[in-house]
Structure 1
Amino acid sequence: MAQEPIVFLSYASKDKLIARDLYRLLSEAGIAVWFDEAELVPGTRWDSELRNAMANASVVLMLVGSLPPGKWQAVELRAILDRTLSDDRFRIVPVFLPGSTVENLAPALRAYQSIDLRDAENEDSKLKRIAAVLTADPRTGELADSEEVGDRLREAGDLSGAISPYQKALAVGHARLGDAHPAVARIQRKIGVTYLAMGELEPAERCLRTALEIDQHAYGENDPRVSADLSNLATLHEHRGDFAAAQRLQMQALEISRRVLGENHPDTLKAMSNLAGTLGSVGDITAARLLEEQVLYVRSAVLGDDHPDTITSRSNLAATLADMGDLGGARALQEQVLAARRRLLGDDHPNVLIAMNNFASTLHAQGDLDGARALQEQSLQLSRQVFGEEHPSTLTALNNLSGTLRSQGDLVGARVLLERALAAYRRVLGDAHPTTAVVMGNLASTLREMGDISAASTLLHEGVQILERVLGSEHASTMSMRKALSSIAIRGNGV
């Protein structure tokens, strides 16, 4: 017996091929869809079948193409809008196809939550964006709806896809609540953090500073939300290489938390952990270790050894020990972290994959390349299954495995993985993201070892330009890549 449809596909005849692809994509994902080409039986009254299908559907995906709605799609739209008047759980979701514009969307639908597929690179991205909307609670308001869609897409790794619904939520928040409402600050903060993850530092700073100003006005200087805003801005300064400013902001955030919440409050411990990370970045590893040991001690005593925050503290301390050269101490902690994550979360949870990669990095540093490779291959396989091919976690796993292959002398294998990772980073994060530039540098190093000096030089030159533009010419990453480029130029000249 056929599953009762919940999604009705409405489209213009010129968009039939795209509608057919979306029908297949959604059906294969287990989403029940009514698509006229698949459901209408020759000889039946198609108009009554359409009316029944629309009456039984809970969601209509209204495909918006490069032209305004055609005659029959306009008829469907009138019937659909009539139903919204009597059923507040019924939803209409415009879907922008490649080549479409807002002007091609019926004016009556321009206030609705929409799905933007115009920059979706592949089927996985399309499915994530559609599923994010279809799984949102239809009983919530527009603000919560759009914000939740953004949250879902950000969690799924579709950072660029998350921006549009967040901006929709922000526009609704401005209109309903005013420019200085705390809910507006919350959404500004989410947009800022998303832009930060994308490497778009200027829009990230605008949003994060706006959130800080609203929170300071609404709550005063001594509020945990202000502390969180300061910490986010500190992270932005770290991305720019301004570690002194980052350290100053993290210390301000910690002082507020200590004063308002007390020494052992979870938010204070988080602020201490953030400051420790910044201290590690500026090279004060001893101070970072002392803070992390203090955080771990308190969390273990108050929350227990198996609490997620305690496990995170153990992982942070392990990373600092590795930076200090104490690989044995780091390995012991990372083994505990991985065992706890697996026991509590299962093998395919994102935090388990992170723990596997961290442990593999320490094994690599200790010279256990076979052990590191085995863990990295397992992590990559699980990440592909859980997140898909182009999620940041999958791309990180690709990059990590390539490093181990290179250390084992498998330069061809490393090159294949890095080329795949770089192509994906260009699509997902764009050509101007620092992470894209770092992968360029990794691929260039591999190409150089293989003797392809010209290709390596081209990549390094592009990477330096990206880092200079985004991070500045004095950032450590920029100077490191510029040094590599100079070195390869000297070698190319036979010096």
Structure 2
Amino acid sequence: MTTDDGVAVLAQARAALDSGDLSSAKTLGERATELLTVECGAEHPDTANAQLLIASAHEQSGNFAEARRAATAALSTLDKYAAGSLRAVTILRVRAEIAVANLDRISGDLEAARTRMTRMLNSLEPGDPIAAGVHNVLGIVGKFTGRFDEAEAHYRRALQLHEPNSLGMASILHNLGGLEHERGRPEAGIPWAERGLEVRRNVRPPHHPDIAADLGALGSLYLSAGRLEDAEKAFCQAIEIFTAEYEIAVVRGNLAHLQARQGRIEQAEENYRAALAGKRKALGDDHPDIAVTCHNLGVLLFDSGRQPEGRELVNRAHDLLTARFPADHPRVVAVARTLATL
């Protein structure tokens, strides 16, 4: 065995991840970790790098608990290196912090994600390109907490720090589109999302999960803008590409909303229930993301003559949101408004 074996396998794992082959990426990443542990030691940065790759593959697969295990292990290793270490080590540590913060955000602990990323940002030199990912997470947190201007400022700063037409730039364009959607301005978000998809397609293979994520987000913008045919096409393309149960659940929930608007009630209910089951399996029963689907399914059932079941679901959505967000949060306000009309 040569000292390059682990590095070579890690490169293969990275290629698999970049191509969207998440299963191979996880298998090769685990093998690289085993080899690098023997060759370099369990607390070597190269070993931590392999663990970060595993975390990314699990996150994209919707296996959030396994993603956290790998990301936390990598961060624990990198925390042992003093400030001012080699640039490569600094970059890895920032990536590890971003990975853990993003998993905090997915789990619904937005304040933990904000605190971690604010601390990380304060430790970096102004204008350091590796801060782009930190600004991105802070932008996402700002969006979900209703701090839209703050979110936009972070996204635009991240856009300045990324190389033009890079994957990082594509992610920020995607997120700027999502921010405008959350603000209730879908027409303003569509150009951002379309540009992000264009950039991503120039870098990623056609069936990569990132392409599906862009299509799903763009479909939501089309739906809100009333472009229903464009929305359904984008949703169906995304579902064909996605393999992660959680991601499929999100898109099926959006497709159900479209079908409800078209009066396709049975199809909408089927997709809402599938979305709810997928989200619960991935996130648990008390995650605020469950509230969106509970609310929409509840309204569908109420309007279809099944008032008690519909009202119960909308109440559940309200309880989930008020447990995490203040009364003036846009999503809390929207659900409270629905309850007042039932």
1:413 corresponds in structure 2 to: 267
| Structure with more strand by fraction | 1
**3-state SS of the aligned residue for 1:218?**
coil
Aligned length: 328
Q: Distance in 2 between matches of 1:382 and 1:229?
A: 32
2:300 corresponds in structure 1 to: 446
Q: CA deviation at 1:439?
A: 7.5
Q: CA deviation at 1:433?
A: 9.0
2:232 corresponds in structure 1 to: 377
- State yes or no: 1:279 paired with 2:142: yes
Query: What percent identity do the matched residue pairs reach?
Result: 16
1:150–1:165 CA contact under 8 A, matched in 2: no
Q: Distance in 1 between matches of 2:145 and 2:239?
A: 34
| Structure with more helix by fraction | 2
Mapping 1:295-334, distance limit 5 Å: 295-297=158-160, 299=162, 303-304=163-164, 306-334=165-193
1:148 corresponds in structure 2 to: 13
Distance of aligned partners of 1:453 and 1:156 in 2 relative to their CA distance in 1, 3 Å threshold: farther
Q: CA deviation at 1:404?
A: 1.3
Q: CA deviation at 1:263?
A: 0.9
Give CA-to-partner distance per residue, 1:430-473, whole Å, 9 cap, x none: 866959945862445433433345666887899999x79xxxx9
- State yes or no: 1:354 paired with 2:219: no
Q: What RMSD in Å do the two structures reach over aligned CA positions?
A: 4.8
Name the amino acid aligned to 2:97.
Answer: L
- Which one has a bigger Cα radius of gyration? 1
Q: CA deviation at 1:354?
A: 3.3
**3-state SS of the aligned residue for 2:79?**
helix
- State yes or no: 1:263 paired with 2:127: yes
Mapping 1:30-429, distance limit 5 Å: 144=9, 148=13, 155-156=20-21, 170-171=33-34, 173-175=36-38, 177-193=40-56, 198=62, 200-201=64-65, 205-218=68-81, 220=83, 223-256=90-123, 258-259=124-125, 263=127, 265=129, 267-297=130-160, 299=162, 303-304=163-164, 306-341=165-200, 350-366=209-225, 368=226, 371=227, 373-387=228-242, 392-422=246-276, 429=282
* TM-score scaled by length of structure 1: 0.52
Q: Distance in 2 between matches of 1:349 and 1:151?
A: 11
Structure scoring higher RCO (CA < 8 A, sep ≥ 6) equals: 2
Deviation above 6 Å: which 4+ runs of structure 1? 161-165, 343-347, 430-433, 457-465
Q: CA deviation at 1:214?
A: 1.2
1:157–1:391 CA contact under 8 A, matched in 2: no
Name the amino acid aligned to 1:398.
Answer: R
**3-state SS of the aligned residue for 1:178?**
coil
Give CA-to-partner distance per residue, 1:202-259, whole Å, 9 cap, x none: x655543332231122354662222222222222332344433322211222234x42
Q: CA deviation at 1:289?
A: 1.5
For structure 1, which runs of at least 5 residues remain unmatched after alignment?
Answer: 1-87, 89-138
1:156–1:391 CA contact under 8 A, matched in 2: no
Distance of aligned partners of 1:476 and 1:162 in 2 relative to their CA distance in 1, 3 Å threshold: farther
